[in-house]
């Protein structure tokens, strides 16, 4: 079941290295604005116009993933804890510090998996059947009633004897 958070309040997310990010909820407006970011648009222009679908999809994913995540981070991060400059002095999120934070691989990966992919998974879910509840088949409805008795062994055909 999809749960709607009508409050739209920022939520703290734990990242590697003792970093915590306070992030706005991932919304359609936020995703759309990140896609319009000049760096994302420029990355899309570099993608080859010809090739097979798999090859083009892979090129698009690789060319756009980092600029898109940085654009989304710029929009979504409203506060953070555990981030400092080279001397260890705390720094605030901003146009220069957010891309620098996203340049740290473990932080980038955690941001991708704990924040960005949640939004993308919801995007994929609307293109297919609703996901089942946790557990094997827990969300599925019953299509057949229980058996009323033991099944009999099948008879052998004459051609099998």
Residues 141-161: tens digit of each pLDDT: 555 666 676 767 667 766 666
Edge-first strand order for the sheet with 11-14 is: 11-14, 20-23, 77-81
Report helix, strand or coil for 117: helix
DSSP 37-97: SHHHHHHHHHS-SSS-HHHHHHHHHHHHHHHHHHHHHHHHEEEEES-B-TTS-B----TTH
Every domain of the chain and the residues it spans: 11-130
Q: Once rounded to an integer, what is the mean pLDDT over residues 116-137?
A: 55
- Regarding predicted confidence, which is higher, 84 or 61? 84
Could you give the count of Cα atoms lying within 13 Å of 90 in the half-sphere of its Cβ? 7
pLDDT in tens, 14-63: 999 999 999 999 888 998 999 999 998 888 887 666 665 665 555 556 67
Q: Once rounded to an integer, what is the mean pLDDT over residues 112-125?
A: 72
What pTM does this model have? 0.66
In DSSP terms, 79 is beta-bridged to 22
């Amino acid at each position: 079941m999809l749960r709607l958070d009508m409050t739209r309040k920022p939520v703290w997310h734990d990242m590697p290295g003792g970093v915590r990010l306070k992030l706005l909820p991932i919304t359609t407006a936020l995703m759309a604005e990140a896609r319009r970011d000049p760096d994302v648009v420029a990355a899309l222009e570099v993608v080859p116009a010809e090739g097979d679908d798999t090859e083009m999809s892979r090129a698009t994913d690789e060319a756009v993933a980092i600029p898109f995540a940085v654009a989304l981070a710029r929009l979504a991060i409203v506060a953070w804890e555990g981030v400092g400059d080279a001397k260890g002095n705390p720094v605030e999120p901003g146009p220069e510090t957010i891309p620098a934070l996203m340049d740290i691989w473990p932080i980038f990966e955690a941001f991708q998996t704990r924040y960005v992919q949640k939004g993308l998974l919801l995007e994929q879910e609307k293109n297919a059947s609703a996901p089942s509840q946790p557990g094997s088949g827990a969300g599925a409805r019953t299509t057949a009633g229980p058996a009323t008795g033991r099944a009999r062994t099948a008879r052998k055909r004459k051609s099998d004897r």
